[in-house]
Chain A
Amino acid sequence: MDLTKKREYIIRLPRLKQLADPIAFSSLILLILTPDANAYIDPSSGSYFLQIILAGLLGALFALKIYWKRVKSFFTGKDEDSEQSK
């Protein structure tokens, strides 16, 4: 099986639904990462998988948030990021 294709498949949206479905969830078993050289705590497979499953959604939400901030700052004339960092 082509892993890249599989990865693309899981990054499409109905991921939360898949998580609730044990069969679809099991199909993600092959998508584990190489262990971190400096990691001394156990990240746990479940935590790793959850992040991978959520990756697309979280990345998209984050991109949307940044985009929305830019739109807002265009109209208000305020740079929200620099406001926050003050």
Chain B
Amino acid sequence: MSNQSEGRLAASFRDPSGFIFRRDGILYRQINRAYQAEYDLLMSSGLYKELVDANLMVPHDEVEEAPAQPDTSYRVIQPRPVPFISYPYEWCFSQLKNAALIILDIQKRAMAHDMVLKDASAYNIQFMSGKPILIDTLSFARYFEGRPWVAYRQFCKHFLAPLALMCYRDVRLGQLSRIYIDGVPLDLAGILLPWRTRMSLSLLTHIHLHARSQKHFASKQVTPSAGTMRRQALLGLIDNLESCVGKLNWQPGGTVWADYYDQTNYDEDSLEHKKRLAAAFLERTSAASVWDLGANIGLFSRIAAAGGAFTVAFDFDPAAVEKNYRECVRAKETRILPLVLDLTNPSPGIGWEHRERLSLLERAPADAVLALALIHHLAIGNNVSFDRVAQFFGKIGRTLIIEFIPKDDSQVKRMLASREDIFPEYTRDEFEKAFSRIFTIEQTAAIENSKRILYLMKHR
């Protein structure tokens, strides 16, 4: 995306096997000579082909492009680009669970080719065409019988611990991944999980005893010796993790927003009219990428996707995002990516030098931003002035389709019922004045049977 800089990517520095770099807007991966044997084995063993054919791994082409660091380079490959980079703390429960399951599936397939995953980072998974997929071609190492799984701890921290916490304690604990970039510490997960999780043999071992084992050996000096874990045992470990993850479930519902369209006082005709207007405005933008802010279960994201745009459907409610994702899976939707995001506190740049994981702004702009039934939540619910909202939207979208909800709308009245009205500027005139500083208003339309107005705006 246009905000991202050229050269070696800031997130790509830990693994000496190679790194990602950008040149002329195209992403390449340099494979270092240190990884030559492993890469050749991945390609010649049939593992790469099997994983790509099964839609589990990103395909790549070997290219003649000059390496970014010639002295260490073995080869340069060009992976198929991911339409939108997302992170585990932006995924709903089922997205994280499905990502965990494909890691284990890949590990099993790799072992059949005498290879293993040498890491199990959730950041190596991205969503492409609606499915989680491994994007790190350098994640494989040769398997040596007897050795335990080197990525076991990382898998438990990146996947099992947050999933168990979301399932057994509270789904919002998925946000812990944003604080702990290398996964949720197992001792913390053990403290936060209810006592009854010790009754599950899998959670007892992979979380509770695992945490205890780490603590026990933390300060011990250990001597290398021969390997002791047979293939059958390692397959047993993967199988056990798989059934453990498979049993973790979370049912969405019971939140205000996940049931929004069932409970709202929208007139059926005005909703249909709004859908038609949004579709017409979207068509006018010819957007290839759309960000639907406050997308809820993705009603309007589906309209954008049906028009051919790759649509990221953001909502702050994990239940709404879960419902949206499940519908995407059921309908085999390939152009919608539902994500959890609080617009009043969007994902920051985190990790080393704040640059390992991109902030929302660094992943902008989208061709079009949809902000339907949202402005009152930002302006009244969060006390953000129209000017500030316009500035922010100006940073994330080239065009904007936004709905203005006047003060005499029942939703706004409900919001103001329990608080003092300190918003004398919350008027249509002020709204247009503020947004006109950043955008030009291309088209407006009143939504039938309501006092709401839909705007199509273009960045100045």
| A residues at B contact (CB < 8 Å) | 3, 7, 16, 19-20, 22, 25-26, 29-41, 43-63, 65
A65 in contact with B214 given A44-B153, A52-B229 (CB within 8 Å): no
Q: Which of B147, B229, B240 is most buried by chain A, counting CB atoms within 10 A of its CB? A: B229
CB distance from A81 to the nearest CB of B (A): 12
| B residues at A contact (CB < 8 Å) | 14-17, 35, 38, 118-119, 141-142, 144, 146-154, 156, 204-205, 209-210, 212-218, 220, 222-230, 232-237, 239-240
A44 in contact with B226 given A33-B146, A61-B236, A61-B240 (CB within 8 Å): no
Between A and B, 19 residue pairs with Cβ closer than 8 Å are A7-B228, A33-B148, A33-B226, A36-B118, A38-B118, A41-B14, A43-B150, A45-B220, A48-B148, A51-B149, A54-B233, A55-B230, A55-B237, A58-B233, A58-B236, A58-B237, A61-B236, A62-B232, A62-B240
A52 in contact with B217 given A19-B212, A33-B228, A41-B154 (CB within 8 Å): no
CA distance A45 to B220 in the complex (A): 9
Question: CB distance B209 to A19 under 8 Å?
Answer: yes
Question: CB distance A33 to B236 under 8 Å?
Answer: no
CA distance A4 to B68 in the complex (A): 48
Which residue of chain A has its CB nearest to the CB of B209? A19
CA distance A61 to B235 in the complex (A): 10
Which residue of chain A has its CB nearest to the CB of B224? A34
Question: CB distance B225 to A32 under 8 Å?
Answer: yes
Cβ of B14: which chain A residues have Cβ within 8 Å of it? 40-41
Which residue of chain A has its CB nearest to the CB of B215? A46
Question: CB distance B217 to A55 under 8 Å?
Answer: no
CB distance from A56 to the nearest CB of B (A): 7
A62 in contact with B236 given A38-B141, A54-B205, A55-B228 (CB within 8 Å): yes
Cβ of B234: which chain A residues have Cβ within 8 Å of it? 51, 55
Given contacts A19-B213, A38-B35, A41-B150, 10 further A-B contacts (CB under 8 A): A3-B225, A38-B118, A38-B141, A40-B118, A46-B153, A51-B233, A51-B237, A53-B213, A55-B148, A57-B236
Cβ of B212: which chain A residues have Cβ within 8 Å of it? 19
Question: CB distance B153 to A55 under 8 Å?
Answer: no
CA distance A29 to B209 in the complex (A): 16
Question: CB distance B226 to A34 under 8 Å?
Answer: yes
Question: CB distance A51 to B216 under 8 Å?
Answer: no
